[in-house]
Structure 1
């Protein structure tokens, strides 16, 4: 076993507590990664607050980047010393996985939210009582700590000349927004796109829409600073939803409605706006994560007679082994400047990072280890 330091959630709502823990050595198909930095995502707060039933105590964190320190005997995908980004976990043997729909793995919830490996075991224990497990493997990684023990499957090798401390959010939030646009909605050149929500996911979608060739790109949010940043990242128009009816504004800007919309706030009322703002035959993607059981409504005839589509999207419908390196390359070419969203914190500032994220004063916190 190896001694590590990690942020632990022991009760609903937190706080994150920095603790010394013990971590198993890698199994034959596992990799130990020394975490360099880890993004903080809305889903971490969803789990902290028990909107999703994640067992406690638990180490969260699911946007890790780091350096491979140790590999199991059967690992061939990476080698010691490789720079890697950690992403979501999938089983690899169910029907969706076998046909390439990794983000719709039949065991996705269990593997990413049950706080354990697929066989139900954990690899992390309290330092003074190694018979007391601490739940881990959140999104297959639990990277709010100095080391993460992960499966070979969800480790993505990235170039050594890329800025490793920036890359962790590509594993979830940024992959979700960019992938929703490129992989799921398939936004095409000359089209119109509106992002409802200007957090890390929504702004990543704005950047991706620009890279995909959309010519009308709208960002709707209630935080003025986010709208200013959206213009820097590629938006052609912004809407402050506190001051203006966003549906009417999108229709006016686009001349009838957007070809594509994306809802990332997790608010049912905002989802309704994103659907209503669509053009004839338009498509709305849903990536916002509300509490389990949340319901929303829409005008059935308004959807049916206009041929609108509403689709759910997980992790940007991304194959991370292909999509994450592509995003790194776009960043290195100056075509995907996601670093403009980022503010860095130390591990002992993790509760401040969470607070700043929830207030909207920081778009994408990254915890440096």
Structure 2
């Protein structure tokens, strides 16, 4: 049985500024056994990006749900996903025209997937992301954040030259889609390039829920919402969105206990500090250490399912985000979009 749950809310920064949540999501049962899902993150610098993200996510999911079916090759599904993203952007442009506003004010990212309980296909535009739990028990980061060297994101409007598509041959037990704020807690920048580049204890709290059923999904969803709502602001000030899909009939194997250990944040911090090159006449090394030192906090013990008293709390550690983007998440300046961008393939 495939179940799903989600959580979506404005971050503290947007709440205080009186701004709407610019994250959106969509999830729908497709043909055969497929579940189609997407998350989208409207650019904070754009006035109507909350509308753009909602239009993009729902349009892409609807398009794929009506067309993807069992027996299709990756090339077939890739073509559908590419066209879904084209149609999503056309829908955003149409909404901007309907509202008589500039299209740039609706800019958004889009992360899309199709999952049939075993195989995962995905499309990526921007810096949201996907992590999977394989049937083998391994957690795997699927997508790459699309940003330039200054940390500015490439949104959906950049077109197929920037979009990425792929699939996993391995059997997938659960999938989690996240907008960038949550994604960087689960896949901390300080862990990039490591053999294990995922904060597995945190991912596990969301994804290893094979004892859940339809009756308990509401409780799980409510607890996930509370957990993200109460997540320490000094770690995550952005809007927060997760969509989790789990095949309870295809549970992941249990790995050795060491696999689930909390990352050694102190060692990761020290290694990161050594890589910093600072001119002698600028910032003192002690100041740098203060800037990137990890913040610790206590477990929150938010109950996920009251019957088993499990929790989705964070561990007493945090990670260092060495390449944090500005809150506004400004996009790279758009000059030349690809020819025929708006024509489905």
The answer, yes or no, to whether TM exceeds 0.5 is no
Relative contact order, higher structure (CA 8 A, sep 6+): 2
Of Structure 1 and Structure 2, which has the larger fraction of its residues in strand? 1
Q: Normalising by structure 2, what TM-score?
A: 0.28
User: What is the TM-score normalised by the length of structure 1?
Assistant: 0.27
